[in-house]
Structure formats: structure tokens, C-alpha cells
Chain A
């Protein structure tokens, strides 16, 4: 079974430019997460989707970050405009979800963003 797929794996951009990350979760997983991982730190939640609905986006900096999961499968996370402090690894994870769903989450390899 394929795992969580993310692209690109690496991205280098200049500050003030836009950038987008793409995630394809494990087939059948209703819950999708985007996490931010700074160097030397654990991941921190940015947003959680249940199917196509963003049910927890309280940690997403909405002035510059946006996300979508239009058909309840793939998701895109966008930053516009990027700032130097956005340099980090952006992780996507998925989970079976649902009322009786497991809390186990399965992570993709991440996108390492460098803003210069």
C-alpha cells in the first residue's frame, strides 16, 4: 500500500514569493493533517481536515497561509508571500479518522522549504 506522498521534496524560494506544497494521503484516510517542523523541534499542527472540511485551523497563520482539500483526497498548502522565518519542513499526515478512528497518523517525507 502506498504511503503518504508529498511534493516537492525540496523547495528554495526568495522571500515574498509564493509557494505551494501538495499532499496525497493514504487511500481511504479521511483525516489529513499539515504540520510544521522547525529544525531540532517536533512537528506542530497547522491544520486538520476531516474529508474536505477544515475542522481545526486555529494554528494556521491565515494572513499568509492557506490550504484546501477540495475533493476530500489531495490537499495543497500555500504560503503567499513567504518570509525568511517560514524556512522549515512541512509535513503531511493522514489517519483513518472517523468517530471510532484510530489516533495513529502516518506521515509523508515532508517538503523542506528554504526561503532566502
Chain B
């Protein structure tokens, strides 16, 4: 079935460090891909998306590029802030079911 695999956390970085959170998906069809962020005590918020190969989604300094050849959608940010501390979820849209399949989440902790 469709699945999404994320790197395990927690990822601990110092402020202003470079961030990469890896995400790969099963290559069934051409799904839309998403990154959601969940801050402590809050619901999931859409961070960015890409709907076709080579698309780059970006928001709030975060970027991710839809790589069909490697079935990946890695999340990157050039300089993280303490306020970026949260859990990040990679997800793919299942076209037929119109539902999202999520990875297990990666906790990011940014230290001042």
C-alpha cells in the first residue's frame, strides 16, 4: 500500500543551523506531497506542498522539492530558529481515497 517514511527524531540543532528532514514515499501514481507542522498543544498546520515532479514548495523559509527519481520530498531550512521547534509530518495524498497518508513525524528541537 501507499506509505511515507520519515527520518526518526528527535533532531536537535542549534539556532541558525541548517535543517534537513528526510522523507520518502512509495511510488504509486503521482501523488501530491505535503509537509505539515504541529506545534506543542496545537493541531497540524499545512507548511508547504508540491503537486508534481520537480515542483518546489516553500513557506516561512522552509523548502521541499518533489523528486520523482528518488521518490523523496526532503524538508530543508537554511537557518532554524527556536520557534521552529515542533513535530514535522510528511504526507502524500492518495488520489483514489482523497485522504492523506502521513509519516510518523520528526520532532525538531532548536536550542538557543
Contact = CB atoms under 8 A, between A and B. Distances in A.
Interface residues of A, number: 23
Contacts of B36: 107
Interface in B66-112: 89, 91, 93, 97-100, 102-105
B97 A91 contact: no
Given A4-B43, A110-B43, A43 B102 contact: yes
B25 interface: no
Given A40-B104, A48-B97, A56-B99, A106 B91 contact: no
B50 to A, nearest CB: 11
Contacts, number: 53
A105 B42 contact: no
A103 B97 contact: no
User: Chain B: interface secondary structure?
Assistant: strand
Given A4-B43, A107-B44, A42 B98 contact: no
B108 to A, nearest CB: 15
Contact of A43 (B32, B46, B49, B100): B100
A97 interface: yes
A-B pairs, 7 with minimum CB distance? A42-B102, A103-B93, A109-B43, A107-B44, A107-B43, A45-B99, A103-B32
